[in-house]
Amino acid sequence: MFKFASMLMTPAAKYLMLAFAVLFPLVAANEYQVYVMATAFVWAIAVYGLNIITGFCGQLNLAHGGFFAIGAYTLGLLTADFGWSFWPAFVAALVTTAVLGFLVGIVSLRLKEHYFAIFTLCVGFIIYLLIDKWEELTHGAIGVRDIAAPYGFGVVDFTDTTPFYYLVLAFLVFAIWFMGRLSKSLLGRTFLAIRNGDELAQSLGINLMRNKVLAFVLSTTYAGLAGALYAGMVRFIGPDEANIQHTFDMITYLLVGGIGTIMGPLLGTIGIVWITQSLQFLEEYRMIIFGPLLVLLVIFFPRGITGSFLTWMHRKSQALVPGKKREESKVNTVQPREAESNA
């Protein structure tokens, strides 16, 4: 069992997962399944963004869904109303979410902990209201139609589901690759130090504001990337994309998968999207199954699937190699003391 478990975390396992993702459209029962998987990948990218600011940096950002919508609307409006083609609009969507992320970040990150969460909750709602009510720009409740699909430079046609699936997969792989590199780097460690506590981080010479804003901008850019891909995929968006519900869905994916881990956002998102899909026939009653499932997960895997798994693995490996030695030496130092007290 242990051998099997350690195999799961090797680079080989990651290539295996990648191979599965690449082959998935070939083995999928129908196009709809490919579409669902592509949707799950899009959400996973957004959840990776949330993981940077909330998982690594410890700041619960409840405006994340709002930035997803800003990415989607930037792409949607530029292509549908202003006649831009997809890729320039795509870049503009990333820049817009990054710039707005910076502006929101420098204001909201002055607040700490739950004040920050409440403030960003309001920001998220304001984004929703702007999209819903600013009809001259956003068409309000009617939404945006005729969004351009990405053009494939004459090589591929991204209006088909499968090519689009691969496009999303490519961005997802990049998102995970960057997350992996970030987490191991000094910059990622800086974010983690902030999560451990503002005061401690400052005493280590870390500039809180600069690093928090950087993490925030990275996270909103991820959200914008996911939103833009989403708009290019569904080609029709409405104010509901900014619904706060999406933010809480993403937090659920993150918690289930494992907050602050590399593979957690992916596993959590894909797992829940597919469970939700397979319970679709139950309609509203699916929550009867889904609810208890979540409760069990929180009880038995408080750190999410990936987090709990990694902890378990580490304990195993420590018990096998140097930790054991330590256990023995510990026993040796304890025993004489016990003998004394017995005497």
Partner 1 sequence: MLKVEHLTKMFGGLAAVNDVSVEFETGKINAIIGPNGAGKSTFFNLISGMHEPTSGRILLGGVDVTKLPSDKVARLGVGRTFQTTNLFEQATVLDNLIVGHRLRTRSGLWDVLINSKRLQREEKSARDKAMEALEFVGLTHVAGQFIADITQEERKRVAFALALATDPKIVLLDEPAAGINPEETVGFAALMRKMVDEKGLTVCLIEHKMDMIMSLADKIMVLDHGEKIAEGTPEEVRNNPVVIEAYLGGDEDAAA
Interface residues with partner 1 (CB under 8 A) are 178, 181-182, 185-190, 192-193, 195-197, 199-200, 202-208, 214, 218, 303, 307, 310-311, 314-315, 318, 322-323, 325-326
> 271 or 323: whose CB is closer to partner 1?
323
> 145 or 314: whose CB is closer to partner 1?
314
Roughly how many angstroms between the first and final C-alpha of the chain, as a whole number?
44
The backbone region for 283, taken as left when phi is positive above 0, alpha when psi lies in -120 to 50, beta otherwise, is left
- Which residues lie below 8 Å from residue 288, measured CB to CB, with a gap of 6+? 282
Is residue 235 within 8 A of residue 146, CB to CB? The reply is yes
The least distance separating partner 1 from the CB of residue 76, rounded to whole angstroms, comes to: 28
> 199 or 284: whose CB is closer to partner 1?
199
> 27 or 186: whose CB is closer to partner 1?
186
> 161 or 211: whose CB is closer to partner 1?
211
> 3 or 325: whose CB is closer to partner 1?
325
The least distance separating partner 1 from the CB of residue 294, rounded to whole angstroms, comes to: 21
The least distance separating partner 1 from the CB of residue 306, rounded to whole angstroms, comes to: 11
The least distance separating partner 1 from the CB of residue 312, rounded to whole angstroms, comes to: 11
The least distance separating partner 1 from the CB of residue 304, rounded to whole angstroms, comes to: 11
Cα three-residue angle 172-28-156, rounded to 5 degrees: 55
Give the sign of the dihedral formed by CA 206, CA 210, CA 216, CA 221: negative
The least distance separating partner 1 from the CB of residue 20, rounded to whole angstroms, comes to: 27
The least distance separating partner 1 from the CB of residue 175, rounded to whole angstroms, comes to: 13
Q: Kindly list the distances between the CA atom of residue 148 and the CA atoms of 20, 96, 160, 204, 235, in Å, as whole numbers in the listed order.
A: 29, 18, 13, 48, 7
- Which backbone phi and psi does 130 adopt, to 5 degrees? -60, -45
DSSP-assigned states of every residue in 121-181: HHHHHHHHHHHHH-HHHH-GGG-B--PPPPEETTTEETTSHHHHHHHHHHHHHHHHHHHHH
> 195 or 235: whose CB is closer to partner 1?
195
To 10 degrees, what angle do helices 161-184 and 264-278 make?
A: 140
Report how far residue 255's alpha carbon sits from residue 273's, in angstroms, rounded to the nearest whole number.
14
